[in-house]
């Protein structure tokens, strides 16, 4: 199967072009946000050639392809789907919001830093090679000493190793603007302002070689070389501010006014407000993490080596990118990488034990390649395809990672870069640490292998995992009735003037042409979602019924104007309780249809959903019955 054919099959099996909202990728995974996750044929995707596994996490369907291949497949996919950011930039189909606020925040964090990581990986390798050039033992093999290395060559290597971190805020601002819908070029310039040569360097101020500038008689300002959080927060706020200006500044002067005001406000925020505060926060977090890692007797390495592996399961491992980037920017060393590597290599040891002991040919076919993949730093096939599936191998890998992390901590291992582990990770230890790096990883691998072999896996586990799971059935107690959320005229699903709702893409639904702008709760339940733009509210009621109330069509463009929400996420509500008020006149003036949609987003979970309304209808009157 060619890469073009594989990309086409991925699009087809994830529900087609119309079901894909946004497409992104990281170092190993294609990350797809879909309109309706029920349309994804997960089994068929995972059976495709060259696919190492897939899972749905934090609102993204993540397909594991591996390094290199993921970039090429991404390019082919966007040729089919078009602009990968269309859904994020206000396209007609609004992407659903998956996961809780914490999960969405982690996904946002990872989306920003995934784009920056490749250049930091390259920089880390340059650092390793530079260290190799200056090692006496290596140079002695060629009859040389460090003094024999040309100064011009050392200067060139310094350019390779220092540039990315010297201008790190520019990279972070660029990626943040790109992800939040701002103009990336403004993000780059704003980030460069934070490290302008006109400002005293943060490194010089920290070493006492320079004094910070004093503003307003008390505010000490220096460059933000090596800082991540100030650039990240500034990027978010300024990108949103730019989008606000784009909506309100007349087109005739937009080219002049918007960039000028955006950069002026963004730079002032960064220099005088959020920058100094977040820089202190960043330093405190780094100190706390390093204190944890350097707990006496290797305890920090034991804890992180054991439990750090669980972060990937919950999709929050990318939060560590910020810590690793900050460590490298501060003093050129990454203390998390060697301990995390032990955890990855331990997964390889555990999955190899499963591969050898399993009698199932299918398990062997998955496990053997997964072992090699984990040794190369890509653990998802081993974790999700084998170890986590059988549970105990994953626990044994945690133990093996803890043992390796304990030793790595005792030996004070530290990397010159980030984002590569296992065998490729040796390039980050091309110095006197290399033998110790190999030793601790061999011990991690061996410990996980032995523990899994003797205690963590038997062929009975394969049979248990292969047994069909009982199908869950909807409860059979009395049907759930859904009341109308507003006074008005009933509109059948097929007559809703929006293709997504009319075709039931988001679940079976109906519309109500409202007479007044007061929206009420349709049943007793819990508020599960309140859109930032206030135009949509999600609820969950009896028997797990999930209902989306969407006020108007394309009203997301109003950015909350004319909407007044009366409830908050997590709040319990009673049927007939006021949820929000809306100015119907403002919707009309904005040029949007004001029909109120009531969509049962999990309607496929129920055997019967009957719409029982028609004509004029009053708020609270039954419009649907679910059983």
Catalytic residue among 26, 371, 509, 510: 26
DSSP string, 41-68: -HHHHHTSTT--EEEEETTEEEEE--TT
The tokens describing 391, both together, are 């549970």
CA 27/CA 121 separation, integer angstroms:
11
What stretches of 411-458 show up as alpha helix (H) in DSSP?
A: 434-451
Instruction: State yes or no: is 509 an active-site residue.
Output: no
Which residues, other chains included, contact 219 with Cβ-Cβ below 8 Å and sequence gap of 6+? 272, 276
Distance CA 497, CA 488 (A): 16
Q: Are 109 and 65 in contact (CB under 8 A)?
A: no
- Residue whose structure tokens are 């291992």: 413
Closest CA to 3 of 63, 88, 65: 65
Residue 220, both tokens: 């000490």
Rounded Cα distance, 124 and 120, in Å: 6
Rounded Cα gap, residues 323 and 325, in angstroms: 6
Q: Which residues contact 369 (CB under 8 A, 6 or more apart)?
A: 52, 381
Tokens found for residue 344:
């990855």
- Pairwise CA distance, residues 418 & 240, whole Å: 30
Q: For residue 501, which phi and psi values (nearest 5 degrees)? A: -75, -40
CA 575-581-585 angle, to 5 degrees, is 140
In terms of C-beta density within 10 A (0-12 exposed, 13-18 middle, 19 or more buried), how is residue 68 classed? Answer: exposed
CB atoms within 10 A of CB 251: 7
- Under a CB-based contact definition with an 8 Å cutoff, are residues 459 and 359 in contact? yes
Measure the CA angle with vertex 262, ends 260 and 264; round to 5°.
Answer: 70
Q: In what order do the strands lie in the sheet with 578-582?
A: 518-520, 578-582, 563-565
Strand order of the β-sheet with 508-514 is: 572-573, 525-530, 536-540, 546-551, 596-600, 508-514, 488-491, 616-617
Using alpha carbons only, what angle is made at residue 335 by residues 305 and 396, rounded to the nearest 5 degrees? 10
CA–CA dist 449, 9 (Å, integer): 36
Catalytic residues: 26
């Amino acid at each position: 199967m060619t890469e073009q054919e594989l990309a086409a099959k991925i699009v087809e099996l994830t529900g087609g072009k119309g079901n894909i909202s946004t497409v992104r990728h990281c170092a190993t995974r294609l990350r797809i946000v879909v309109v309706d996750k029920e349309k994804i044929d997960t089994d068929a995707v995972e059976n495709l050639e060259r696919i190492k596994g897939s899972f749905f996490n934090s609102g993204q369907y993540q397909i594991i392809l591996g390094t290199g291949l993921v970039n090429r497949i991404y390019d082919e996919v966007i040729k089919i789907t078009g602009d990968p950011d269309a859904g994020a930039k206000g396209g007609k189909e609004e992407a659903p919001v998956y996961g809780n606020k914490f999960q969405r925040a982690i996904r946002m964090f990872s989306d920003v830093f995934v784009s920056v990581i490749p250049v930091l990986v390259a920089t880390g390798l340059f650092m390793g090679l530079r260290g190799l050039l200056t090692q006496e033992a290596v140079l002695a093999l060629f009859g040389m000493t460090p003094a024999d290395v040309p100064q011009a060559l050392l200067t060139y290597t310094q350019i390779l190793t220092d540039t990315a971190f010297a201008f790190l805020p520019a990279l972070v601002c660029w990626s943040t603007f790109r992800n939040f819908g701002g103009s990336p070029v403004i993000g780059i310039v704003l980030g460069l302002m934070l490290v302008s040569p006109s400002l005293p360097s943060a490194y010089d101020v920290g070493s006492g070689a320079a004094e910070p500038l004093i503003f307003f008689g008390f505010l000490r300002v220096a460059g933000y070389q090596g800082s991540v959080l100030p650039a990240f927060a500034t990027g978010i706020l300024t990108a949103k501010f730019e989008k606000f200006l784009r909506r309100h500044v007349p087109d005739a002067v937009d080219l002049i006014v918007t960039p000028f005001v955006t950069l002026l406000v963004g730079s002032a925020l960064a220099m005088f407000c959020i920058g100094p505060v977040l820089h202190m926060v960043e330093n405190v977090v780094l100190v706390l993490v390093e204190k944890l890692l350097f707990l006496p007797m290797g305890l920090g390495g034991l804890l992180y080596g054991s439990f750090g592996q669980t972060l990937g399961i919950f999709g929050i491992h990318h939060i560590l990118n910020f810590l690793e980037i900050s460590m490298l920017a501060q003093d050129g060393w990454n203390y998390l990488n060697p301990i995390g590597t032990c955890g990855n290599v331990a997964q390889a040891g555990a999955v190899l034990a499963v591969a050898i002991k399993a009698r199932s040919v299918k398990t062997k076919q998955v496990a053997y390649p997964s072992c090699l993949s984990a040794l190369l730093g890509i653990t998802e096939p081993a974790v999700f395809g084998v170890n986590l599936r059988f549970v105990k191998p994953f626990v044994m890998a945690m133990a093996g990672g803890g043992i390796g992390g304990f030793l790595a901590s005792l030996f004070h291992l530290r990397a010159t870069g980030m984002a590569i582990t296992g065998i490729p990770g040796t390039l980050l230890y091309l110095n006197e640490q290399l033998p110790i790096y190999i030793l601790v990883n061999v011990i991690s691998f061996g410990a996980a292998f032995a523990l899994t072999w003797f205690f963590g896996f038997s062929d009975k586990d394969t049979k248990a995992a292969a047994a069909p799971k009982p199908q869950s059935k909807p409860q059979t107690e009395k049907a759930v009735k859904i009341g109308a959320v507003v006074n008005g005229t009933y509109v059948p699903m097929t007559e809703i003037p929006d293709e997504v709702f009319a075709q039931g893409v988001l679940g079976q639904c109906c519309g109500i042409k409202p007479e007044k702008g007061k929206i009420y709760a349709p049943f007793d339940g819990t508020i599960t979602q309140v859109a930032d733009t206030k135009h949509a509210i999600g609820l969950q009621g009896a028997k797990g019924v999930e209902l989306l109330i969407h006020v108007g069509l394309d009203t997301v463009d109003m950015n909350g104007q004319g909407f007044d929400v009366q409830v908050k996420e997590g709040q319990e509500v009673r049927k007939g309780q006021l949820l929000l008020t809306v100015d119907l006149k403002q919707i009309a003036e904005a040029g949007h249809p004001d029909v109120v949609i009531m969509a049962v987003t999990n309607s496929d979970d129920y055997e019967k959903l009957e719409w029982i309304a028609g004509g004029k209808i009053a708020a609270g009157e039954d419009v649907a019955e679910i059983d």
